[in-house]
Amino acid sequence: MKIPSGFVLQDLKPYEINLELNRIKTVVNGQLQFGTLSGSDKNMDGVMILHTFKMANVEESVTHALGSVPIGYLVLRNGNGGVIYDGTSTTTTNVIFLKSTTGNNTVLMFILR
């Protein structure tokens, strides 16, 4: 169902509102992905990970279970201000390798598919 231009919510019948809300839920719920470097448009998709880096500048494996190689990561919370950066090992469909410039650093990050 497409809502005609100029309509307001009050103009719609309850079942029409429900249909639109379900359509929005279907698009948004579990279907979000960022675009890729190749330019393909997507929503965003990934997993939220809470990880504690034990030592400074030592590569650690972070299990993500995406089932595909991630395109990157977003640091959302950083326990002690260390910089999170790529490790040297090859990222896989289940593990990403990262380092932190500080030890004992708990980080909340979103690993992107």
Q: Each residue of 20-39: pLDDT tens digit?
A: 788 888 777 766 666 555 65
Rounded Cα gap, residues 62 and 93, in angstroms = 11
Residue-wise burial string across 28-53, b where 16 or more C-beta atoms lie within 10 A, e elsewhere? eeeeeebeeeeeeeeeebbeebebeb
Q: Answer whether 64's CB lies under 8 Å from 51's CB.
A: no
Q: Is 25 helix (H, G, I), strand (E, B) or coil?
A: helix
pTM value is 0.66
Q: Using one digit for the tens of pLDDT, what is the confidence trace for 51-108?
A: 999 999 999 999 998 899 998 999 988 999 899 999 999 999 999 999 999 999 999 9
Q: Please report where in the chains the tokens 């410039």 appear, as a residue.
A: 101
DSSP alpha helix (H) spans, the chain: 14-28
